[in-house]
Homo-oligomer: A and B are copies of this chain.
């Protein structure tokens, strides 16, 4: 296999983003409406071309900032300030995935706390947070009554892979804290797990588990009552990235 610089076909390389957050007890993803063909008017994942002098992670962080205003975090450091967690997800390169040309897309997964309304180049009507089940269903009507069409390109597959990655990764890592504000309560963290997994968890066992896992949570000393009921302790994410023992998703 000689390495002939003229012997390789040219590809376009893009990054696509699966940006997840938890809003109103539901796992939501960021979707943007396409302004031109193909798939004009359909919802899609945000993304764009990788520039000539840009690393893949840089391109993903730039797109994330353009779409949400979020700063991306170094993956080595767990979420501590307002930065979002960003990691590479997978790469999609079916020759027919874009009808215009050969495009290889390096999908990335971003996790963010509940945020102000999204912006897409300043045009809010072209970007929204939508529950992932709504984006993944093939047809029907969303809860706002608007008819649902499948996501553009292979973005349903990418979103599905991103959701599955998030679901499994919060089991054995402290990633669920990336969905929370810098300070949060055990109850808020529990509602994150419940929304991402789509199950109900026992508050007492959950509390014992997360407070007993070394390095997961650090008490800040403060308390809050923003959920109603008895005031709850506030925590920050601890230094641990890998949880031992892991959080176990209930049997299916």
A: residues with CB less than 8 A from B are: 1-3, 5, 7-13, 36, 48-56, 88, 90-95, 100-102, 104, 106, 121
Contacts and interface: CB of A to CB of B under 8 A. Distances in A.
Given A5-B101, A11-B11, A11-B50, 13 more contacts: A3-B100, A8-B49, A9-B50, A10-B10, A11-B12, A11-B104, A13-B104, A52-B95, A52-B102, A56-B104, A88-B90, A88-B91, A93-B106
A36 B3 contact: yes
A179 to B, nearest CB: 23
Contacts of A121: 1
Contacts of A53: 95
- Tallying the copies of this chain within the complex gives 2
A104 B102 contact: no
What are the 4 A-B residue pairs with the smallest beta carbon separation, nearest first? A10-B10, A9-B52, A56-B93, A91-B91
Contacts of A90: 88
A106 B94 contact: no
B36 A2 contact: yes
Contacts of A92: 56
Contacts of A11: 10-13, 50, 104
